[in-house]
Amino acid sequence: MIRIGPGGTAGLGYDAGLDEIKRLNLDALEVEFTYGVRMSNDEADAVGKMAKEMGIKLSIHAPYYINLASKEKQKIHASKTRILQSCERAHHMGAVCVVFHPGFYQGRDKEEIYGIIKKEIEDLLKTVKQKKWRVILAPETTGKASQFGDLDELLRMSKETGCGICVDFSHLKARSNGKMKYDEIVKKIKGINHVHAHFSGIEFSEKGERKHLLTPDKEIKELAGLLVKNRIDITLINESPDPIGDSAKMKRAINQSSA
C-alpha cells in the first residue's frame, strides 16, 4: 500500500488541515514538532481521534534540536528527552513513526559516531518498551555529509537495534551532490516491510542540503513509477513549501502509474 500526505498542515491547523487532506483523497499526515513538543497529551488524543475517523495515518517529526552524538552529555540528554516527549505524544495520537535527525560527526570517526548513536537509540528503545508506547523510532537519512545518516548507516542501525528508519529522498540527493538515483534507493529499501519516507525538491551545494523546494513534476512521476513497479509498501510525506499540493500531485502520479 502507498499512503501519501504532507509534513504539517501548511498553516491550516489540524481541523481544517485534516479536512483538506481528506478532501484530496490523501491518507497521511506528519505532525511537525519542529521547534519543540508544544502539544499536550489531551490535544494529541483529540488529533488522533480526528485522524482515525478520517482514515489518515499519523507520524511525528521530533524537534530539530537533536544530536545523539554531541560532545556534551547534557545535549545528548536533552535530545533524548525531546525524542521521548515526541514518542509520548505519538502514543496518545496513535501515530506510528517518530522521525528524528540522529546527530553529527563533528570531525570524528564515522564508526565511533555509529557506536555512540547506536547506544543511545538502544537506550531510547528500552524506555519506549518500558512505557509500552506503540511507536517506532525512525532516524532519518540526512542531507549533509557532516551529519550522521546515510542510507547504509541507517539500514545497518535498523538491522542491529530493531529501530525503524525514515528514507528522505531529497536529503539523499543533496548528500550525494545530486548523484542519487531513485532506482538505486528503491532497490535498497525493497526488502523493508513498510517504508516511512520523505520527498520534495531540494536546493543543495557541495556541502549538501540548503533548503527544500517545490517537487519537480519529473521527479514525482519517476518516483511514483518506481514505487508502483516494485510494489513498495510505503508512507510518503511531502516536505516542500507546498506539502499538500505536492502530495496531491504524487497521489495522481501513483494512480496513473497503477492504471
- The answer to whether the beta carbons of residues 45 and 67 sit under 8 Å apart is no
Rounded CA-CA distance 20/5 in Å is 11
Write the pLDDT tens digit of every residue in 14-66.
Answer: 999 999 999 999 999 999 998 999 999 999 999 999 999 999 999 999 999 99
User: How many CB atoms sit inside 10 A of residue 1's CB?
Assistant: 10
Write the pLDDT tens digit of every residue in 83-97.
Answer: 999 999 999 999 999
* 4 CB-side CA count, 13 A: 25
Q: At what angle do helices 151-161 and 110-131 cross, to 10 degrees?
A: 40
pLDDT at position 246, please? 98
Task: Please state, rounded to an integer, the average pLDDT across all residues of the chain.
Answer: 96
pLDDT at position 259, please? 81
Q: Could you please state the CATH topology (level 3) that the domain comprising 2-258 is classified under.
A: TIM Barrel (3.20.20)
Three-state SS annotation for 182-198: HHHHHHHHCCCCCEEEE
pLDDT at position 206, please? 87
Instruction: Output the nine-digit C-alpha cell for 213.
Output: 523546494
Tell me how far CA of residue 29 lies from CA of 18, 48, 245, in angstroms. 8, 11, 13
User: How many CB atoms sit inside 10 A of residue 41's CB?
Assistant: 12
Rounded CA-CA distance 180/165 in Å is 18
pLDDT at position 191, please? 87
Rounded CA-CA distance 27/235 in Å is 9
- Give Cα 34 to chain centroid, integer Å: 12
Per domain, the residue ranges of the chain are 2-258
Nearest CA to 149 out of 186, 213, 158 is that of 158
pLDDT at position 54, please? 97
CB burial of 10-21 (b: ≥16 within 10 Å; e: otherwise) equals: beeebeebbebb
Tell me how far CA of residue 40 lies from CA of 47, 102, 188, in angstroms. 11, 24, 38
In this prediction, the residues of the chain whose per-residue pLDDT falls under 50 are none
Instruction: Output the nine-digit C-alpha cell for 141.
Output: 537519512
